[in-house]
Amino acid sequence: MSKSALLFPGQGSQKVGMAKNHYESNADFKAIIDEANSVLGFSISSIMFEGPSEDLQQTENTQPAIFTHSVALFKTLDISADAVAGHSLGEFSALVASGAVSFADTLLIVRKRGELMQEAGRLNPGTMAAVIGMADTKVEEICTQASLSETDLVVPANFNCPGQLVISGHETAIDRAILLLKENGCKIAKKLPVSGAFHSPLMQPALDGLGEELENLKISRPLCPIYSNYTAEATSDPDVIRKNVLNQLLNPVRWTQTLLNMKYAGIEDFKEIGPGNVLQGLVKRTLKEVRISGEE
């Protein structure tokens, strides 16, 4: 009997109008969105439904918006799985789905995480770039080559699927890396419209603040294992989970390895829950002979 996994999207899956149709047609979904507004003390739903886009793109709003949409959808689907995983921010949605943490407590941490990451982006200005059509190991080599010092560095940030990475760091180092990547035959290497160098050492200012928040978060043993972005391994240990979601801030999202490890563990049914369909595409490009579907 094949096993199943639920996957939850991260930043980049947001769009104005997200979740509005569910809110208007499903009373249970509406109740969760209303709870989010109450917990946060402002209307995240109006930013989700009406924008403007500039407000929704602010990391401090994007993260609670995607998290709320994903969790509300999960809670109204009456669904379970043998494992869960989430891409970056999505790891927090996966934790709620696994029963390890409460929605309200985690929503406050997700909002704080967004604020801290946005502030870290202001304190340590940097950017990110998409890299398509080159082996992971070659991209890692070029990042090392393009990094001149701790204040002028670039690192792999997201291993999304074979031949598709995101790199992160100081703008000068990113520019050097893009030139080197193209010189070495990379198909696409282009900067992304982001407010900071996420999943890199430039997020260090966010680490202490998030660490304090996570110390106070009650994490129970999950109902099923959660695969961590930081290690790409499954765990059910609350202490390990706490460390992993913190370490994720400064380290790459190992999504390719996560999916391969899931398949190796016998998981053949995948379902993405949340806005967009990015993760469905990554599953299709990473794994063969598995089933993938989604709920938006």
**For the chain, how far is it from start to end, CA to CA, in angstroms?**
27
- Where b means 16+ CB within 10 Å and e means fewer, 85-98 reads bbbbbbbbbbbbbb
As a whole number of angstroms, the distance between CA 159 and CA 147 comes to: 19
Q: Is 199 a catalytic residue?
A: yes
State whether the Cα torsion 11-16-22-28 is positive or negative: positive
Residues 6+ apart with CB under 8 A from 154: 143, 146, 147, 167, 168, 169, 170, 173, 174, 176, 177, 200
Q: Which of 4, 45, 70, 88 is catalytic?
A: 88
Q: How is residue 184 written in tokens?
A: 């070495």
Distance of CA 84 to the CA centre of its chain: 13
Q: Which of 87, 199, 200, 228 is catalytic?
A: 199
As a whole number of angstroms, the distance between CA 150 and CA 258 comes to: 28
What amino acid positions are annotated as catalytic residues?
A: 88, 199
